Amino acid sequence: MKLKLVPARTGATWVKLGMQTFFKQPLALAGLFFIFMAVMSVATMLPIVGLPLAMTLLPAATLGLMAATREATQGKFPMPLILFTAFRAGPAKVRAMLLLGAMYAGGFMLAMGGSYLVDGGGFARLYLGGSAPTAELMQSPGFQSAMWVFIGLHLPLSLMFWHAPALVFWNDLTPLKSMFFSIVACFRNFWTFTVFGFAWMGTIVVAILVIGTLGSLFDNAALTGTLLFPALMLLASMFFTSLYFTYRDSFETETPAET
């Protein structure tokens, strides 16, 4: 396995491929994403262990969505069982994926704990859905400091785990090696991932503006609220669809993934 350098413009191509692949199998990929969200939501509802459990399962669930994307690129209809791909490849892969998930859960809890120390848990409760956002809370210096502390701690964690599930499963790397190669690949293709991130942010902003404009044209604020949530969920599904292409184009293997 070798790292590949890709042009910055490829970041926009990943976004395009994510959308194109989603519309090849919209029902399957949207359905899998909503199952993924439901599983994560149910897991977080468990007392005490809910959040760590959900974070532990997140890398495996992300791999399932990437495997679904790979099948969609081959013209196949991904079935719900593909979400459990990580747990259907033998005990060695299961142990590796659970270890990877446990390390991610530990890192996430540390990042959230860091924000808790700054503002006493205001940001953490809002982020985890335990409280409703208020203008006073979000404008408070403590909340904003806690938010930036969380972002500063969580961003490198995200980069370490960006490719890690795929590298563990498809490239047979150990969890630690997969995290190392993942963050190195992200930094070596820094501008590509920057374009990727800004392209997705721009897409989301445009979608919000279009839906807001429709609500204004029909003088119906409820219409904006009705359309906004499903639209953002579909965009989130397309984002997860595009993750496979960031992995596929960042690594060169002896048996390369489908083009």
Task: Name every residue whose Cβ is closer than 8 Å to that of residue 256 and which is 6 or more positions away in sequence.
Answer: 248
Give the pLDDT band of residue 130 (cuts 50, 70, 90): low
Mean pLDDT of 119-124: 88
Per residue in 74-84, pLDDT (tens digit) is 999 999 999 99
The rounded distance, in Å, linking the Cα atoms of 33 and 37 is 6
What was the pLDDT predicted at 255? 43
For 253, half-sphere exposure in the C-beta direction (CA atoms, 13 angstrom radius) is 16
What was the pLDDT predicted at 52? 94
pTM score, two decimals?
Answer: 0.90
What was the pLDDT predicted at 253? 67
- Buried b / exposed e over 121-135, threshold 16 CB at 10 Å, is bbbbebeeeeeeeee
The rounded distance, in Å, linking the Cα atoms of 235 and 254 is 33
> In whole angstroms, what separates CA 101 from the centre of its chain?
14
What was the pLDDT predicted at 256? 43
Domain boundaries, the chain: 2-252
| Coil/strand/helix, residue 88 | coil
Per residue in 28-50, pLDDT (tens digit) is 999 999 999 999 989 888 888 99
Question: What is the rounded average pLDDT for all residues in the chain?
Answer: 91
Structure tokens belonging to residue 259: 């083009």
Give the pLDDT band of residue 250 (cuts 50, 70, 90): very high
Per residue in 81-98, pLDDT (tens digit) is 999 999 988 899 999 999
Per residue in 162-216, pLDDT (tens digit) is 999 999 999 999 999 999 999 999 999 999 999 999 999 999 999 999 888 887 8
What was the pLDDT predicted at 225? 75
Indicate if the pLDDT at residue 64 is higher than 50: yes
